[in-house]
Structure 1
Amino acid sequence: MTELIGDPDTGPVLEGDAVDVVAAVWAEALGTDSVDPDAGFFDLGASSATVLRVVRTLRRRWPDLKIVDVFSRPTVAELATFLDGV
């Protein structure tokens, strides 16, 4: 699993494979150790506010990410595949 290490002022470092990064960001946002790449974010307990936090974090690596991209690709696997092509 990708570890999100970073400075509290700048946020986590988002390096590594897209699946690992997206899973780590979601796990952190949901307050869990890991996230099943095929589980739906909302099935895992995410709210719209969680999506906003995740998008804000992921935009540090993928600045063109939109909120609708997360709603359209509601699993780690789907979102990471999309982000690999961005």
Structure 2
Amino acid sequence: RQVFEAPQGEIEATIAAVWSELLGVETISRNDSFFALGGHSLLAVRMIARLSEQGMAVDIRGLFTQPVLKDLA
């Protein structure tokens, strides 16, 4: 985990909430990486589906190339 910095804006906050639920991590920093927090490809697919349900378009390639919350947002 990196130095904590709270998610900024609605998009980062939404992604952080989904990560928190899927990964079982209470506090998500905008500097955290999905994979460093325990994420893997199956959880990535679930995360993308949940974000899609909330009107956000994220593809699996984007997550693998930009796994840090602030970069993905």
Band of TM-score, shorter chain: 0.7 to 0.9
After TM superposition, the score normalised by the length of structure 1 is 0.67
CA distance in 1, matches of 2:38, 2:47: 13
Question: Superposition RMSD on alpha carbons, in Å?
Answer: 1.7
Q: Which runs of structure 2 are paired with 1:29-48 in the superposition (5 Å)?
A: 29-48=22-41
| 3-state DSSP of counterpart to 1:59 | helix
Ranges of 4+ aligned residues in structure 1 off by more than 6 Å: none
Aligned residues: 65
Of structures 1 and 2, the one scoring higher in RCO (CA 8 A, sep 6+) is: 2
Structure in which a larger fraction of residues adopt strand? 1
Structure in which a larger fraction of residues adopt helix? 2
Identity of aligned residues (%): 31
Gaps of 5+ in 1: 2-15, 81-86
